[in-house]
Every structure is written in structure tokens, then in C-alpha cells.
Amino acid sequence: MNHYSYSDLKIGQTECFTVKIEDRMLASFRNITGDVNPLHMNDDFAQGNGYAGCVVYGMLTASFLSTLAGVYLPGERSLIQSIESKFVNPVYVGDELTIRGIILALNDTVKQIEIKVEIKNQNGIKVLRGKMKVGVTGEA
């Protein structure tokens, strides 16, 4: 876990991490949310709608943005204030995702950073893009 304080952060600073999507993640997400849409549970249904198989929940994919802010950029001092995300390609079980954030702007008045975010799969295909505004709490 990173321990960046606001004064440590710079425009252009980047952090990233990877995660492999597993069946158990979909099951946990389904149990928490109650989302039983067959697109996420039934290969035949998903294939009949033009996908290679069951599609991973978009919000499960987007949930890794919480990890990006809370663990990596800025880390323990983060307070997510807004997230804008676009799902640009499907994610499937077995995909290895790289979650990346780069600081676009610093707001010294409110100690807030704006982060450009993107998630790509193991083939370098972008599956999510967006921006986050994250407050940075307390100085070390």
C-alpha cells in the first residue's frame, strides 16, 4: 500500500497493477448485488447475444478503480469523490486486467487529484476508460 501525502504527488505520476478475473469473483459479486442477468451467468445466452461467453459485470471491472485509489494512487490517504467510466469492450473470466492511473491535475485548494484511468486486458485491448477525482486526506 502506498502512503503518498498530497505534497508527494505530481502531474504525470502513474501507478498500475494487474488482476486475473476468476469465476469466484463473479459469484461473489452476484451474491453481493443480486444481479442474476443471464448475460453474466449463461454462456449460451451471452453467445446468442454476440459475446464469446459470459460477460464479467462491468461494475466488477470498475470496482478495481477503488483499489487503484485506495492502495496505489494516492493509497491510504484517498477519498474517492467521483468516478466517470466508460465500458468500451467486454471482459471475460480468465482475462488478466491491468489497471492504470495517471495524475492529470492537482487542486491545491482542496487537495484533490484528477486521475485518468484505463483498464486493458492481456491483449492490450482497452476495456474501460475514465477519470476519477480523489481527495487526499491528512498530511504525514
- 8-state DSSP, 69: I
pLDDT per residue over 77-120, tens digit each?
A: 999 999 999 999 999 999 999 999 999 999 999 999 999 999 99
CA dist., res. 81 & res. 86, Å (int): 17
The pLDDT of residue 32 is 97
Mean pLDDT of 11-15: 98
Task: Provide the b/e sequence for 51-87 (b: ≥16 CB within 10 Å).
Answer: eeebbbbbebbbebbeebbbebbbbebbeeeebebeb
The verdict on whether omega for the bond into residue 74 sits within 30 degrees of 0, i.e. cis, is yes
Q: What are phi and psi of 119, to 5 degrees?
A: -125, 130
